[in-house]
Amino acid sequence: MNILHLILGAIVLLFGRSLFWLFVAIVGFLVGFEIAQQFAADQAAGVQILIGLGLGAIGALVAMFAQRLGFAIAGFYAGGYLGVAAAQSITLPSDPMVWFVIGGVIGALVAFMMMDWAIVVLSSFVGAGTITAALGPDSTTSAILFIVLAAIGVIFQGRRLQGQAPAPPDQANSAAP
């Protein structure tokens, strides 16, 4: 599973904004898989993967048909994933679902309000977090690696985003990501 997490993390890190629907699907899968490991731990790994795939597919379908809602869902998935990862990395007490909801709400609000740049930052953070978790270095190395990877993701995606022609004002809200 580590190789899969490394590949998915790299895709999200570098192309989360330009492959928005795939970003939503990947983060939905990661969230679904984490939820399945928490609540369906007694189920086979295949069932847990199917739960992850189901959440990823639902998120991607909603994102395709309702772009602003899709950005909010992506922000919720990404923020929730980051909230749980942050709580686990600094060993905060409480149920992981509390941190998932807190991170998810913050991520959804940021993504809804700032759309493009929010997705660049959130996807860079999620990609960096996924890669860091898959590699599993010690906490100091992990923190440094996370910061470096997140910066690379934001810079790489930011340059790609700024290289795109801006949409005319009347199409700014309806343009595909």
Give residue limits of the domains in the chain. Answer: 2-165
Residue 87 has pLDDT above 80, yes or no: yes
Cα separation, 171 vs 177, whole angstroms: 12
CA-nearest of 115, 120, 108, 125 to 156 is 120
Residue 1 has pLDDT above 70, yes or no: no
The per-residue pLDDT for range 26-83, each reduced to its tens digit, is 888 887 888 888 778 788 888 888 888 888 888 777 767 777 777 788 788 888 888 8
Residue 151 has pLDDT above 90, yes or no: yes
Residue 169 has pLDDT above 60, yes or no: no
CA-nearest of 155, 102, 105, 103 to 128 is 155
The pLDDT assigned to 149 comes to 94
Comparing 36 with 101, which gets the higher pLDDT?
101
Q: What is this structure's pTM? A: 0.64
Helix, strand, coil % (nearest 5) of the chain?
Answer: 80, 0, 20
The residues, ordered by sequence, that sit 6+ positions from 153 with a Cβ below 8 Å of its Cβ are 13, 14, 16, 120, 123, 124, 125, 127, 128
HSE-up of residue 55 (Cα within 13 Å, Cβ side): 21
- Could you write out the DSSP letters of every residue in 82-127? HHHHHHHHTT--S-HHHHHHHHHHHHHHHHHHHHHHHHHHHHHHHH
